[in-house]
Amino acid sequence: MKNSGKSIHNSISDSVFKIINYTFLFICFMIVIFPLMNVVSTSLSSPKAVAAGKVWIWPVEPSLVAYEKILGNKQIWTGFYNSFFYTFFGTLINVILTIMAAYPLSRKDFFGRQAIISIFVFTMMFSGGMIPTYLLIKDLGLINTRWAMIIPNALTVWNVMLARTFFQNTIPVELYEASELDGASDTVIITKVVIPLSAPILAVLTLFYAVGHWNSYFNALLYLKSQELMPLQVVLRNFMSSVNLIQNMLGPITKEQAELISLVDVMKYAIIVFASIPVIILYPFVQKHFVKGVMIGSIKG
């Protein structure tokens, strides 16, 4: 009797929980999606409707005028090409170097493993700092070259540790022993055994590095000077701030100027969307791997 009373009480309390829980998740969903919808919808609305503050979650008076303007801008395409270049070659070098570091460090019979791991890990805790690194890049003659966007970030120690944990946990030692008995050398083991078994970690590494390159701003700010080399993030930033400046300087304005200003405002939204497109397209495919990557990282190797 007592038990059944309790379970009725519980089923009410559990139903209350479920209602609260789904409401909470709905609120979280809205908090994240609403600003994004607003940005996308504004970029697709007419400048007039935007200036009148009519756009909330859906486009008002749909118009592609802002996209036509930005897609006709040469700087944007240069930035897009540059970002693509840095992302592609940067990621390629990243993944190769990461595997080259992670595989030897995952072999327990690799003499000197602990010492080398310490050398790697210490760099996560201490660094020479922004200025000495800048001076090194300068002394190497990399300032204002495409290499400056690739070399200073060629390897992330955290990702090395991630790949190392993956190798240790997924590739059985017996496999190495068997291959060695067959006379396979280490280079053969890497190319014929390790790489074919590593699709998940290769996906995770590619994802982490590629998103990092595509989104990076800091290195361009530090190491690049010429406009032709700038990645899309810098082009976007310059566009956002230069237009703000014009707006602030104008003072009293005519009707034409006001129209121009609202068009430029919508163009800002459009360029935000444009710069995010590659990540948005890839996102559904990479999401799964991304979660996996964070999970591997949370297991101590």
Is residue 72 involved in binding another protein (CB under 8 A)? no
Candidate list 68, 123, 158, 192; residue touching another protein; CB under 8 A: 123
Q: Which of 239, 182, 185, 242 is nearest to 66 (CA)?
A: 239
Candidate list 64, 71, 130, 175; residue touching another protein; CB under 8 A: 130
Is residue 127 involved in binding another protein (CB under 8 A)? yes
Is residue 226 involved in binding another protein (CB under 8 A)? no
The DSSP letter of residue 140 is: T
Is residue 119 involved in binding another protein (CB under 8 A)? yes
Is residue 86 involved in binding another protein (CB under 8 A)? no
Is residue 22 involved in binding another protein (CB under 8 A)? yes
CA–CA separation, 236 and 213 (whole Å)? 15
Instruction: Tell me the HSE value of 298 on the side-chain side, using a 13 A CA sphere.
Output: 6
Q: Angle at CA 285, nearest 5°, toward 80 and 235? A: 15
Is residue 161 involved in binding another protein (CB under 8 A)? no
User: 214 vs 38, 149, 171, 301, CA distance in Å?
Assistant: 23, 11, 31, 29
- The answer to whether residues 179 and 194 touch, using CB atoms and an 8 Å cutoff, is no
Binding part of the chain for another protein, among 64-72, 162-170, 185-193, 195-203 by CB under 8 A, reads: 185-193
Size of the site for another protein (CB under 8 A): 95
Candidate list 44, 66, 70, 101; residue touching another protein; CB under 8 A: 101
Binding map of another protein across residues 38-67, x = CB under 8 A, - = no contact: xx--x--------x-x--x-----------
Is residue 35 involved in binding another protein (CB under 8 A)? yes
Is residue 254 involved in binding another protein (CB under 8 A)? no
CB atoms within 10 A of CB 38: 15
Is residue 84 involved in binding another protein (CB under 8 A)? no
CA–CA separation, 55 and 225 (whole Å)? 38
3-state secondary structure of 57: coil
CB atoms within 10 A of CB 142: 17
Least distance (Å) between residue 261 CB and another protein: 10
Binding part of the chain for another protein, among 60-68, 70-78, 84-92, 100-108 by CB under 8 A, reads: 100-108
User: 58 vs 41, 61, 104, 182, 268, CA distance in Å?
Assistant: 5, 10, 53, 64, 17
Is residue 147 involved in binding another protein (CB under 8 A)? no
Least distance (Å) between residue 68 CB and another protein: 20
Q: Which is nearer to another protein, 10 or 257 (CB)?
A: 10
